[in-house]
Amino acid sequence: MLKLENVQSGYGSIVALRGISLEIHQGEIITLIGANGAGKSTTLMTISGVVRCRAGKILLNGEEIQKLDTDSIVKRGICQVPEGRHIFPQLTVRENLDMGAFLRKDRKQIKEDLDYVYSLFPILAERRNQDGGTLSGGEQQMLAMSRALMARPQLLLLDEPSMGLAPLIIKQIFEIIKKVNQENNTTIFLVEQNANQALQIAHRGYVIENGKIALTGSAQSLLQNVDVQKAYLGI
Ligand code: ATP
């Protein structure tokens, strides 16, 4: 579904991605793990067009998208939940969710999807009239994910959904990521520092080091890889 071929990008004179190649197939959960500053967020932002691709190709279902603007990329079904959530703090939970469906016109299905995200996260249904900014960190992460799901993405990009959350909430968030993938066949590209948990739910993974892919394999093989264990799993 998504293919990166030798993608390079950066910020001014800083080169962050030094030729990234990877592939994500329909229905997979793929995780990208790596140390601070390795280029994980930049990879996601380059896919979604927030950071310009300077060289290489990004193909969505065989079509080049690396020159498109972010709006066109969202319209093609790629939706990103950025690091730090970025919900609308002054809008209610319900209004935040409505924003996610902003590009859609299929009212009946929008209502079904709203019920679906409320069933995934019942706390959001309870808090539907509360301002987003007054939610806890975990609830804001749930809202950010739900808002992205309201766009019915074919590819969901998640940037460190576990960041700053308590272990129990992290467990819940990962379970829901797996559920969304299984129930809707939504393809998920998950960037995580929490490599262990990410590899527990992913089908395959990539390890990024210093703007380059250092290793790839099935989630099981990465979990058992001694170098990965030492560098990213604290074993
Ligand atoms: P973290 O887990 O700490 O978020 P990361 O793997 O997501 O790290 P990136 O945020 O993609 O890493 O950063 C890759 C490189 O690009 C780093 O060297 C970083 O300092 C640099 N970088 C990121 N954002 C900017 C920016 N807005 N301006 C300049 N340099 C940046």
Enclosing H/E stretch for 7: strand 2-11
Give the rounded percent of residues in the chain with a pLDDT score beyond 70.
Answer: 100
Rounded to two decimals, the ipTM of the complex is 0.94
Strand order in the sheet with 155-159: 78-81, 155-159, 187-192, 29-34, 204-209, 212-218
Which range has the worst mean pLDDT, 152-156, 163-167, 184-188, 207-211? Answer: 163-167
Question: Cβ–Cβ contacts within 10 Å for residue 168, how many?
Answer: 9
- How far is the C-alpha of 227 from the C-alpha of 235, rounded, in Å? 10
- 104 and 110 in contact (C-beta within 8 Å)? yes
- How far is the C-alpha of 206 from the C-alpha of 199, rounded, in Å? 10
Q: What is the Å distance from ligand 1's center to 69 Cα?
A: 21
pTM equals 0.93
pLDDT tens column, 72-88: 999 999 999 988 778 99
Enclosing H/E stretch for 58: strand 53-60
Q: What is the Å distance from ligand 1's center to 209 Cα?
A: 12
Question: Cβ–Cβ contacts within 10 Å for residue 176, how many?
Answer: 19
- How far is the C-alpha of 191 from the C-alpha of 136, rounded, in Å? 22
Check pLDDT > 90 for residue 89: yes
- For ligand 1, say whether the CB of 13 is within 6 Å of any of its atoms: no
- For ligand 1, say whether the CB of 194 is within 6 Å of any of its atoms: no
Confidence of residue 206 (pLDDT cuts 50, 70, 90): very high
Confidence of residue 216 (pLDDT cuts 50, 70, 90): very high
What is the pLDDT averaged over residues 14-34?
Answer: 97
- 172 and 120 in contact (C-beta within 8 Å)? no
Q: What is the Å distance from ligand 1's center to 191 Cα?
A: 13
Strand order in the sheet with 53-60: 14-24, 2-11, 53-60, 63-64
Record the tokens describing residue 43, joined without a space.
């990879």
Give CA angle at 45 (41, 50), nearest 5°: 145
Instruction: List b or e across 101-135, with b for residues whose CB sees 16 or more CB atoms inside 10 angstroms.
Output: beeeeeeeebeebbebbbebbebbeebeeebbeeb
